[in-house]
Amino acid sequence: MSATTSAEPIEPAETASPDGARPAKPRRTRTSRVRQFLVGTAVVVVLALVAVTTFGWFTGRRPLPEYSGEVQVEGLSSDVRVSRDAQGVPQIYADSAEDLFRAQGYVHAQDRFFEMDYRRHVTAGRLAELVGNNPDAIQADMVTRTFGWRHVAEEEFNILDDETRQYLQAYADGVNAYLADRSPAETAVEYTVLDVSVEVNEPEKWDPIDSLAWLKAMAWDLRNNYNEELDRGLAYSTLGDASRVAELFPAYSNTGNATVLDPAEAGVPAATQQTQATQTASGTGDMYESPDLAKALDSAQRALDAVPVQIARGESTGSNSWAVSGQYTESGKPLLANDPHLALAAPGIWTQVGLHCNEVGPECPFDVSGFSFSGFPGVIIGHNADIAWGMTNMGADVTDFFIERVRNDTYLRGADEWVPMEKETEVIRVDGGSPVDLEVRRTVHGPIISSVMDEGEMDAVRNSPTETGTELGQYEISLQWTALQPGHTADAVFAMNRAKTPADMKAAAAKFEVPAQNIVFATTDGHIGYQAPGKIPVRASVPGAVESDGTWPRPGWDARYDWTGYVDPAQMPGVVDPKEGFIVAANQAVLPGGSGPFLSRDWDYGYRSERIRTLLSDRIAEGRKLTAADMSDIQMDEWSVFAETLVPVLLAVDLDAGYDSDGQALLADWDDYSMDSDSAAAAYFAAVWRNLLETTFNDELPQSMWPDGGSRWLAVIQGMLDNPNDAFWDDKSTVAVVESRDQVLTEALVSARQDLTVELGKDTSDWEWGTLHQLKLKHLVLGGDGIPAPIAAYMNPAPVKVGGGPSIVNATAWDAASGSFDVTGGPSMRMVVDLADLDASTWVVVTGASAHPASEHYDDQLDAWVKGETFPWPFSTEAVDGAQEDELILTP
């Protein structure tokens, strides 16, 4: 599973420390419940037989690939050259497109086959076949099989362009050519460790469907609104008041932050879709008050949490991107920057690559470089000789939960029509355990997810009476999601790789159906632009007690709430060369409410994007011409809008002089509000923010809804500060006392002082944010707490101290609900493209090019990433040759 700290095993709460610090909170269950998969105590046998040093030098180095010389590769039509630089990044040169992608498959398998194999087991719902009889793996498989990712990918392959299918097949052939004469132990050290406790067989051949199924996992982690939609229903179950639920989801417009586009320039008419609901939840109807519905929603949440994190989840899902016109740059040509905020693991999610046809033309049209996913051909983010593009999560609402009335494998449609469910049985095979039969049930909306995890629970839900009587059936939850329909995203990847003009990028975006992303681009001939892609559902406006815009789960038996189609790609907003001279897309709202097609009501609240806009605008106002170095500096900005908003309020709180106010004194001297890793004030402020959220909200919300500390919660607190008697300030656990804002702020300040005394020492001058806020990269499978320490230490890079935080440009997220400040996600890579001189562009990833722990390129970019440094990004043949350290010739 992903190595984000938010996915760690849930530990029991600890008792209070003797010096009065509050007890540690139990980790919440909101994030993925799949653990770092244990390989069992049998791993100890490996350590008993082989000294750790020997393991590292012999077993660990055995899978390391050759980077130089000559090797025969089945299926090639002519020689292919693979040039690698000092960071081990491959630049591939071939005579044909098929040879190019065949070689990319070969190179990906060289560097990262276990990562690829792990991913295809996850996406196919076959994880228990890889890691053994692990309950979390089995639950993950049950939910993934219920989604049917692999089945959708199989259907998708048949509708793709012929060229795309050829490229996918060539890539698979290259992977299989590398595997052909190698044992698992010669492919990855992970198989050697796993072989001690599970039966490790020869890996199955790679198939194009394996690549397409990975796109479903990517889309799942980058979907938006599903948390908020379930949360509204769950919050109502404890608050019982729609207006109080709405207070927890303030309108984006309340922040005053700019949208990505100006409607006047976006080329979209006002209100092209009749789904612009009011910004306050309306009456919810009797069903939201039902304990049975609350149980079904909670069960659905637990099922979704069982899916392993592959890209990101929660507050760590975001990104920054911007493009600046040549009128404001030193070179007179555009600059483009991008840093996707995703889960951070070992190895990192991206693998850098250059794909170059020796002669670019109709038969071989690729000359592109950038960031790829192991397991999928082509480049996802990067540039070619004419155009550069970055991506951030757009946040469009593409998932809906339907409340179904279910009775004996039928579900209600209309007033009294009971329709048979679609049913099929999936068999989950378990290495070292008995197979598990899973019955998957679907309605017209999609799979039933509220009773997946436990067959006994499923039977009980289906057959038990309800408070409204068996004649109406039992509540269950189904999921409708755009990615569960076959699409053309794979076609879009290759179209973007070949694009030359803004019109080409718009055409490619029309095919990029899931996940919905903001695409920011710039061209070497001087244009900058933005295009919103995505397959966006159209929802009818339904009068009545239940919101119809996808913000709340809604009744599946009422056909008025069904999707009525998808937004025409021609209506999706975009712009070329806006008057402002720059474009910033950092997960904020794309357009103001009421403009263009309805995309969502739930956005990131725009504090990062507004900070980037401010930094660019300030430099432009000063008359400075921007450079690529300026773009890199902005990516590392650590100024906190949280601090700017709250510190003046916190300083107004009257604390006793001495011990209690020592932390507050740090805030008084904190002028720049920067969350630097060596800042004592930043450490104290983070602890205050964590405690403020806990004291304010945890007493009234389900644990799965405890605040993570992201941008929405700042917007909520901002709305409450002017109301000292807002109901959320009151701690409902203290029945005899009604707390006000000032009491809560005082408690947050004092308890933060106590907490950091325990965690960092009594002397506030010894405090540092980076001591609390560390990036602890963990291996996908062998890095968790249950793995023997020597193995985990071998697989995991050493922890590093970092600055930044949530809703900060350097967005190293942490989860306030967990009680820990450890990094849960952040910039998975940073790139700056100079359209005046592509060879002057820079890039860095969080770990390195290789997924082999014994390789020098496993984490050789980590130190530079922490410091905000980047590496040269050679693109032209001359620059690639000048940077070459190794050359491998692949021959037919």
Q: Is 652 exposed, middle or buried (0-12, 13-18, 19+ CB in 10 A)?
A: exposed
What amino acid occupies position 429?
R
Rounded-to-integer distance, Cα 716 and Cα 251, Å? 10
DSSP 99-138: HHHHHHHHHHHHHHHHHHHHHHHHHTT-HHHHH-S-HHHH
Specify the pLDDT at position 269.
Answer: 67
pLDDT of residue 545 exceeding 80, the answer is no
Tell me how far CA of residue 838 lies from CA of 254, 521, 525, 874, 876, in angstroms. Answer: 40, 14, 12, 8, 8
* Digit-coded pLDDT (tens) for 381-438: 999 999 999 999 998 999 999 999 999 899 999 999 999 999 999 999 999 999 999 9
pLDDT of residue 467 exceeding 60, the answer is no
pLDDT of residue 29 exceeding 70, the answer is no
* Digit-coded pLDDT (tens) for 275-304: 444 333 334 457 888 899 999 999 999 999
389: Cα separation from own chain's centroid = 19
Q: Using an 8 Å Cβ cutoff, are 258 and 606 in contact?
A: yes
Band (546; pLDDT cuts 50, 70, 90):
confident
What are the beta bridge partners of residue 346?
779
Structure tokens at 182: 């190698």
Q: Using an 8 Å Cβ cutoff, are 345 and 2 in contact?
A: yes
Using alpha carbons only, give the angle 76, 858, 130 rounded to the nearest 5 degrees: 75
Rounded-to-integer distance, Cα 425 and Cα 441, Å? 9
Residue 515: asked if its preceding bond is cis (omega within 30°), the reply is yes
Q: Using an 8 Å Cβ cutoff, are 813 and 826 in contact?
A: yes
Band (315; pLDDT cuts 50, 70, 90):
low
Q: 738: Cβ–Cβ under 8 A, 6 or more apart, which residues?
A: 730
φ and ψ of 610, to 5 deg: -70, -35
CA neighbours within 13 Å on the CB side: how many for 542? 19
pLDDT of residue 677 exceeding 60, the answer is yes
Rounded-to-integer distance, Cα 662 and Cα 750, Å? 9
pTM summary value: 0.92
- What counts of helices (H) and strands (E) characterise the chain? 28, 29
Specify the pLDDT at position 454.
Answer: 61
* Tokens 């945890």 -> residue: 698
Instruction: Give the max Cα distance, the chain.
Output: 82
Tell me how far CA of residue 155 lies from CA of 149, 150, 446, 486, 561, in angstroms. Answer: 10, 9, 16, 6, 27
569 SS3 class: helix
pLDDT of residue 128 exceeding 80, the answer is yes
Compute the average pLDDT of residues 650-664. Answer: 96
Compute the average pLDDT of residues 746-758. Answer: 98
Q: Is 437 exposed, middle or buried (0-12, 13-18, 19+ CB in 10 A)?
A: exposed
Rounded-to-integer distance, Cα 423 and Cα 432, Å? 28
What are the beta bridge partners of residue 775?
800
Specify the pLDDT at position 615.
Answer: 98
Compute the average pLDDT of residues 749-763. Answer: 98
